[in-house]
Amino acid sequence: MVNKDKMMSDEKNVEQQCADFREMFEAIRGEVGRVIVGHEDIVDNVLITLFGGGHVLLEGVPGLGKTLLVRTLGSALSLEFRRIQFTPDLMPADIAGTNLVVEDATTGRREFQFQKGPIFGQIILADEINRATPKTQSAMLEAMQEHSVTSGGQVRRLPEPFMVLATQNPIEQEGTYPLPEAQLDRFFFKLLVTYSNREQLKAVLDRTTTGQEPQAQPVADAAKILWAQKLVRRVVVAEHVQDYAIRLVLATHPQGEFATSLTNQFVRFGSSPRGVQAIVLAAKVRAMLDERYHVSFEDIAKSALPALRHRLLLNFEGQAEGIQTDDVLADILKNVPRTIEEKSIA
């Protein structure tokens, strides 16, 4: 009887924690929505990335509100916000920081003192990241993966939670450098920001030309974000659901056991294991938002596209044919069965 009561109590506690998580998610979404017009899917996926403990890459032509979205998110969270404007002449030390020679005013002694760079924040806006050279882009690798910076042989931890929100223009535009594959793989999601429709443009004009621009107010702090990130990882994933996520990633590997015809024809390299990690963590967040403490096949499917689109490298034929990675992934989602039994029945 005691064990049964304890189980019921634990279940109620879990339900309450899930309810608290959804309330915080809705509060942040609401504050961002006061400033950002439309782009609801983009906002939701950015927040999913935040609670999944990852980084997000936003791609779109200039003027679509990518930078405003990141700044607004920084305002809605009581976290230390930093902006890095990437330019061709930006150097790695401008991001991570550098050792300066400082002279003591009283003794006259000189010593090295580390001057922290803008990467030492919690919400980092890496604006137009693909306008910097590959050498400078690579300076972000350690920070994004290890949440630390090494300078002068000393490792310095970055404050938690730590999230990079990078914006980039399409690589076809002049003056851009493609991000290295190793850095692309560090991004949890890649999101494509599209043009606003007629109603959304009207709302933008109403908000920005009347002198009454709304401002987002802080509704969450570091402690709440870290609590939510730990809660997300406790969501249950059944073995057969997890296997579906694994097979989706394996289907991106050309000539592999689960590869589709489009994968074999147009893909040079498929996703790394980080792809399936991102899918599962994002699916856990979606499950909690849907008032469930277990992941469904639909959660996995909805998370696959933004988690994998930047982790596939097309071959020459794919590029020549104008194939997009989204086309390959759509084919994978259509043809990979959710269970092995579905394949055998078919």
Evaluate whether residue 40 is within a structural domain: yes
For residues 22 and 29, give the distance between their C-alpha atoms in angstroms, rounded to a whole number. 10
Q: pLDDT, tens digit, for every residue of 148-177?
A: 888 777 888 998 999 999 988 776 556 677
Q: Give the pLDDT of residue 341.
A: 66
Same domain as 166, residue 81: yes
| Alpha carbons 248 and 172: distance in angstroms, whole number | 29
Residues 198 and 305 in one domain: no
CA distance 28 to 220: 7
Q: Does 207 share its domain with 239?
A: no
User: Does residue 96 fall inside a structural domain?
Assistant: no
Rounded mean pLDDT, 302-320: 93
Q: Are residues 24 and 133 in the same domain?
A: yes
As a whole number, the mean pLDDT across the chain is 85
How many domains is the chain built from? Answer: 2
Query: pLDDT digits over 69-91, tens only?
Result: 888 888 888 888 889 998 888 88
Assess contact for 303 and 283: CB atoms under 8 A: yes
CB of 132 closer than 8 Å to CB of 177: yes
Evaluate whether residue 107 is within a structural domain.
no
Phi, psi of 151 (to 5 degrees): -145, 130
Mean pLDDT along residues 267-274: 93
Structural domain for 310, as ranges: 233-346
Q: How is the beta sheet containing 56-59 ordered, strand by strand?
A: 81-85, 123-127, 163-168, 56-59, 189-192
Residue with tokens 């790394």: 272
Same domain for 283 and 196 = no
Does 104 map to a domain? no
* Residues making up the chain, counted from first to last: 346
CATH number where 292 lies: 1.10.8.80
- Of 151 and 181, the one with more pLDDT: 181
CATH number of the domain to which 70 belongs: 3.40.50.300
Q: Write out the DSSP string of 166-232.
A: EEE--TTSTT--PPPHHHHTT-SEEEE-----HHHHHHHHHHHSSS--------EEHHHHHHHHHHH
Would you state the pLDDT for residue 12? 53
Are 252 and 292 members of one domain? Answer: yes
11 pLDDT band, cuts 50/70/90, is low
Let me know if residue 276 belongs to a domain.
Answer: yes
Q: 206 and 325: one domain?
A: no
In a domain, 260, yes or no: yes
Q: Indicate if 192 and 247 belong to the same structural domain.
A: no
State yes or no: pLDDT of 345 exceeds 50.
no
User: Would 285 be classed as within a structural domain?
Assistant: yes
* Within a domain: 161: yes
Is the pLDDT reported for residue 234 higher than 70? yes
